[in-house]
Structure 1
Amino acid sequence: MTSTLDDNALAQLFTEAHSHVSWQDKAIPEVLIKQLYDMVKLCPTSANCSPARFVFVTSQEGKQKLKPSLSKGNVEKTMTAPCTVIVAYDEEFYEELPTLFPYADAKSWFTSSPEAAYETAMRNSSMQGAYLISASRALGLDIGAMSGFDPNLLNETFFSENKWKVNFLINLGYGDGDKSHKRLPRLTFEQACKII
């Protein structure tokens, strides 16, 4: 793969894409949610560890379960979004490594070091969440990523019976472009980057 995406594709993914807080009343088909994951799972992670776990909250019952853990400023935008994705990580992601990375005893890298397991899970699930954002845009969806929530309450509500832990949230759907905010400033290359 050596070709560059055309300007329209780059605009959809990056240059003209916005985070959304207002949504059209339009459901996301389940087949599209599955297609989205099928794209995300192919993206790279350290030793193919794939620690991210995704909960696609689309029902009103699910939204009501989620609501108490949201910060006040995130309630309306989340309740009106067609889908809210809980981007989580599996604390015991390494249990899948004999299948996902059969080239070495990668499981032992993490069973012997809880710190390495946590750092790897957080770092790589964050990357997988970012892949989900790009894949969503590629499939014609809009996103609004959020970190304003009570993680302890959310984990207790959704993950009390497994070893998953929340990383961040993404509202997903078809944005109302008339109500999107103007793009905020970004750091320049000189402010954020070095070439050495």
Structure 2
Amino acid sequence: MGPYAAALIFTIACAYIARFWVNDEFVGQSETLGQFLAHLFFIQGILGLDSISAGAWYVAIDWQLYSVLAILFISFPGYQALIWLIGILVVSSLLFFNRLSSYEAYFIYFIGSCGLGVLAYLASQFEDTRVKRLAKAALILIGFVIAAASLQQIWLRNFLAWFVALALFLWGNTQYPKGFEQKSL
């Protein structure tokens, strides 16, 4: 938390100095204590506050995603129920929440692609073969759901997210061939 708080303070200081030379919209208004505190707890988007930097918004979304996934993994240690719950979150995100910009500050908007990545990992790298089979089945089922939903309206980003998850499943653990490292000039 210390480095993040220092980065926020440094960004606020830089913006303060920049306002002396640039009177433009991209520098933004002066930051408030409430805005700073909201950023410390990664809730600036949820509260509807302007982001101090684009990077802070990205960190907040990642924090939400990782927190929710950590809570789910702790709550469902057997993984079978977890896989189905992640599948439901993925489908609801891709087919509903991800289509509405009002959810862009919440994990549910992004859990579609993130959850597909989790399922791809479980399907290819997990030790328990039952978990692997169930995760593969969930990935395939989600592909069918995406295809069926496309009969109503095609969302290419849903197909892209699914194809990336399939690529991770198939080649995510592929090692580079020997000698592929960048040679020094």
Higher relative contact order (CA 8 A, sep 6+): 1
For normalisation by structure 2, the TM-score amounts to: 0.28
Q: Which has the larger radius of gyration?
A: 2
For normalisation by structure 1, the TM-score amounts to: 0.26
The structure carrying a bigger strand percent of its residues is: 1
The structure carrying a bigger helix percent of its residues is: 2
